[in-house]
Chains A and B, each alone.
Chain A
Amino acid sequence: MSHHHLRPLDLQNGRVERAHGSGGRASQQLVDELFSRHFHSPQLAVRHDAGILTPPPGRIAASTDSFVVSPLFFPGGCIGDLAVHGSINDVAMSGAQPLALTIGFILEEGFPLSDLDRIAAAIGQASQRAAVPIISGDTKVVERGKADGVFLSTTCLGVIPEGIHIAPQRACPTDVVIVSGTIGDHGTAILSCREGIAFDCDLESDSAPLHSLVAAILSVHPDLHVLRDPTRGGVSAALHEIAASAQVGFRLWEAAIPVHPTVRSACQLLGLDPLHLACEGRLLAICPADDAARVLACMRAHPQGRDSAVIGEVITESPGFVQLETPYGGRKLLDWPAGEQLPRIC
C-alpha cells in the first residue's frame, strides 16, 4: 500500500508521534513502512482484526507477559527478542509446542523510530528463528513522560501433545532438579548496564527460546514432572513456587550449581545471590532420580542445554522451603527474594 499524501517515515531521525497511535493514516504508515518490513505471516498479510489459526490436536496452552525492561538494549539482546522468548518459554514450560504469537506495543511519544525499527527487527528475527509466527499486533502511543520509550506485551499460544502432563504439583520426593545452564546471566547483563551500577563485563544475557530443548527432553522422557523457567526472582523464586504448590521441600547442593565466574564476581561485589537473579533462557526440569541420567544426557546434547547439571533433590521435610547445602557441609535456607532487588529486568 502506498501513501502518496504522506512523506515516507524517517527511520533515521524520525520520532514516534501521537498520530502513530491514532488508528489513522499515520498508524497505517507505521505498520506499512516499519512493522511490515520485519513481521511476516499469512495472518498479518490478510489484515484481519484477528489472526486465525487451525490448531493441531491436543490441549491449547496460552500465556501472556508484559515487558518493561530497562535499558531497552542490553548485552545479548533487547526488549524485542526478550518479549518473543519470554512468552514462548512460558508456553513451553507446560510442555506445549508454541504455534503463534501476538504482540502489543505501548510507545512513548518522542521515542526514536530508529530504535523502534531495531526492536521490530529483533522481534521479527526472534520469531523467525523460533519458527513461531506473529499473527496479530497492536500499537498505542501515550504522551511523552507517560511511558519509558516502549513497553511490550506478548501472548503465545501452543498445543500440548497427548500424554504430556507437566505441572508443579507433580514434584515429588525422590525427584531431582536439573538446570539447563549457568544461572543469573540475564540479571547480571542487565545490571552491568544500569545507570548507577554499570560495570564492564564480558557477559551476555541468556535470552533464548526453549521450546526446542523442551521438545528434545520430552522425546526421551514424556513423563517429565515439572518444567519452570527461572525468570524474575531466579531459581529461588521458581523453586519456592513449586515447593508451595506440591507441598514438598527442596535441597540444593551449592557446589553443583553452574554459575558463570562473572556472575559470581558481580554478585560478590553487589551483595546479590545468583539464585535470586533472573534467567531468560534457562529451564529447571524436575524428574524421577532414576531418569535423571537420560534427561541430563539429552539436555547436554542440545545447544540450549550444554551446561546442564543436576543441582538438587525434592525432599519431604520442611515443605515449602528450599534448603541449600554449602560446600562446607552446613545447611542454610534459601529465601524468596525480598523487596525490590532489581526492578525492570524483563
Chain B
Amino acid sequence: MQLTEELRLPDRAERLFHALDRTVQPGRSYRLMEFCGGHTHALCHFGLLDRLPSSIRMIHGPGCPVCVLPIGRLQQAIDLAIHQRVMLCSYGDLLRVKGRSHQSLQSARSLGADVRVVYGPMDALALAKKHPDREVVFLAVGFETTTPMTAATVEQARKESIRNFSVLCNHVLTPAALSALLSATKDPVQVDGFIGPGHVAAVIGSDAFSAISQTFSKPIVIAGFEPIDLLASLLHLIELLNQGQSIVLNDFARAATPEGNRRAQAIIHQVMELRDSFAWRGLGELANSALRLRDSYRDYDAEHRFSLSTESIPDHRACRCPDVLRGSCIPTDCTLFGTACTPDSPLGSCMVSAEGACAAYFLHRPQRLLRKVHVTSSPSTP
C-alpha cells in the first residue's frame, strides 16, 4: 500500500496539473482516448477530468468488458440459469445487464435461478467441487487481464478431472478493438493519441501495441491506474504529440514489460484459440478479436456442452452506447442518459459497470446536474 499512497499524493498531482498547463500548446486541441474502463473510472473517481487543461478532451474508449459483451451472449447465460438450471457464476458487474425483454441475471435469480457472484473463475471451480451434483458454469468476460485466470482454471479443472464445470467464454482482445476503432470506414474515431491499458500490457507486453502505433501514426502511452500514474502519462502523451512522435511509451514499467507475462500468454495459448469473428456490443462484428476454448478443452466449453447458438439481440433504438464506445459522442449526449437509463435501471451497457463511461459520468460528474445547459458535441450519424 506504500506505493499506492505515493501515487496518490495531492501535491504531486498539483505539480503535474501545472506541468500539463504549461505543456499544452496554445491554440491546439488534443483528443485523447483512454482505452481502458479502469482509466475512465479512475479519471472520474479521483475527480481529475475537471482539472485538465481545457484543450484536452478525453474520449472514453471501449475497454469495459461488461459494456462490450453482446446482449445475445449474456442471454445465453440467463437462459442457462433459468432453463438448464445450472449454477451460473458471474462477476457482480454483469448481474444487472439487461438481456431480452428486460431479463437479467438478477431477475433470473428472483425467479429461482441459481446465480452466484464470484470474484474469479477459481471461486466458481471451488463451487463445482463443493456441489458435484450441479452443473456449474462460469460466465467469463474480460480483456487479456482476466483471460489467463480463466485459462488456468480450465486447465486446473481438467487436471483434477472436475466434470461438472464449464466456461462460457467471451474473452476479447485489446489490439483488435484498437485497430477496429482506427480503421473503421464509417465513422472512424478521431483521436490524436491513446492512454494505453496498463494491466492488459502487463499480460501481452507493451510491444504488442507497436504495430498499431506505427500503422496509424498514433502515440500510445501505457499507464497505471493511480492519479499520479494517469497525470504523468497524460503529460508524456502531450509531449509526444507536441514532438510529433508516434511511439509506444511504457509508463507502467513496474508491472508491464515489453514482452509481457510469458506464462500467462502460454496458458492462454494452450487452452484458447482465436474466434474467426465476434460481435462486440457497440463496435459490431470484428474479425480475430475474441477467444474460444480449443477443441481439446471442449468438455469445459459451455457453448459445446449445452449446444448453444448465439442470437443477435439489438440495442435499444435510442441508446447511443455504440457511439460512446467509439468515442463519437459523450454520455450526456444521449437522450436516455440519466432519464430512462440510470445505474439502477440500465438500458445500455455503458451504464452498468462502474467502468462504463455512462455510469462513470452518472456517478461522478457533477455536470450531469447541469445537463440541461450542458453544451454537447454534435451528434454523429445514427
> Using a CB–CB distance below 8 Å, which chain A residues touch chain B?
196-197, 255, 261, 264-265, 268, 270-271, 318, 321, 323-336, 338-340
Contact = CB atoms under 8 A, between A and B. Distances in A.
Given A265-B1, A333-B363, A339-B96, A328 B47 contact: yes
Contacts of B14: 328-329
B10 A331 contact: no
Contacts of A264: 1
Given A196-B119, A339-B95, A328 B366 contact: no
B253 interface: no
A271 B363 CA distance: 14
Given A196-B118, A265-B1, A335 B362 contact: yes
Contacts of A327: 8, 10, 13
B44 interface: yes
B106 A333 contact: no
A328 B343 contact: no
A47 B291 CA distance: 69
B133 interface: no
B49 interface: yes
B259 interface: no
Given A261-B1, A340-B95, A330 B362 contact: no
B47 A331 contact: yes
Interface string B277-319: 0000000000000000000000000000000000000000000
A330 B354 contact: no
Contacts of A332: 44-45, 47, 363-366
A333 B344 contact: no
30 contacts: A196-B117, A197-B119, A268-B4, A318-B369, A321-B366, A321-B369, A323-B366, A324-B47, A325-B47, A328-B10, A328-B14, A328-B51, A329-B10, A329-B14, A329-B50, A330-B46, A330-B47, A332-B45, A332-B365, A333-B363, A333-B364, A333-B365, A333-B368, A335-B362, A335-B363, A336-B344, A338-B343, A339-B343, A340-B95, A340-B106
Interface-central residue, A196, A268, A323, A332, by most chain B CB under 10 Å: A332
A283 B179 CA distance: 52
Interface string B338-366: 00000110000000001000000011111
Given A268-B4, A326-B47, A328-B10, A339 B106 contact: yes
A328 B227 contact: yes
A293 to B, nearest CB: 25
Contacts of A261: 1
Contacts of B95: 339-340
Contacts of A265: 1
A236 to B, nearest CB: 11
Interface residues of B, number: 35
B48 interface: yes
Contacts of A339: 95-96, 106, 343-344
Q: Which 5 pairs, one residue from A and one from B, show the smallest C-beta to C-beta distance?
A: A330-B47, A326-B47, A332-B364, A327-B10, A330-B50
Contact of A329 (B8, B51, B118, B362): B51
Interface string B39-68: 000001111111100000000000000000
A330 B48 contact: yes
Nearest to A335: B363
Contact of B50 (A196, A331, A334): A331
B125 to A, nearest CB: 12
Contacts of B47: 324-326, 328-332
Contacts of B276: none
B187 interface: no
Contacts of A338: 96, 343-344
B273 interface: no
A3 B369 CA distance: 69
Nearest to A343: B117
Interface-central residue, A328, A329, A336, by most chain B CB under 10 Å: A328
Interface string B111-135: 0000011110001000000000000
A329 B4 CA distance: 19
A318 B370 CA distance: 9
Contacts of B364: 332-333
A265 B366 CA distance: 26
B176 to A, nearest CB: 26
A338 B364 CA distance: 14
Nearest to B126: A196
Contact of B366 (A270, A318, A329, A336): A318
Given A332-B363, A332-B364, 9 more contacts: A196-B117, A268-B4, A324-B47, A328-B10, A328-B51, A330-B46, A330-B47, A330-B51, A333-B366
Nearest to A325: B47
Interface in B1-29: 1, 4, 8, 10, 13-14, 17
Contacts of A197: 119
Contacts of B51: 328-330
Contact of B119 (A270, A318, A329): A270
